[in-house]
Amino acid sequence: MGLEYQVMGKIVEIRGSGKCSYGHQVGETFECKEMGSAICQWAQNSIFPFYTVLKFGGKFPWLKDPDRLQVSCPDPANVVVFELWREKK
């Protein structure tokens, strides 16, 4: 199936009150997976389209670093910001 990457994530910021209702903390790292990631399902839903592009070698034309990006969860009161990056398997 061509080149696949491992996609990793890290929580870099929690806006608003600084408290995630799911319990995430700044500095947590995790491996992104199709199923079973150790993150909130709402956040996983926001991350998934970006995860897929990173996993299969795609690029976002507006990014300076094609291997790293930030995406946030949909909680409007306490936005959790995730940094995602890909690594060769």
Can you give the residue range of the structural domain that contains 72? Answer: 5-88
Query: If DSSP states are collapsed to H, E and C, what string results for 39-77?
Result: CCHHHHHHHHHHHHHHHCCCCCCCCCCCCEEEEECCCCC
Residue 87 amino acid letter:
E
State the Cα–Cα distance between residues 26 and 34, nearest whole angstrom.
23
Distances in Å between the Cα of 69 and the Cα atoms of 23, 34, 77 are 22, 18, 22
Which residues are 75's β-sheet partners? none
Residue 3, pLDDT score: 73
Q: What is the pLDDT of residues 5-51, one digit of tens each?
A: 999 999 999 999 999 999 999 999 999 886 666 788 899 999 999 99
Residue 2, pLDDT score: 58
Q: Domain count for the chain, please give it.
A: 1
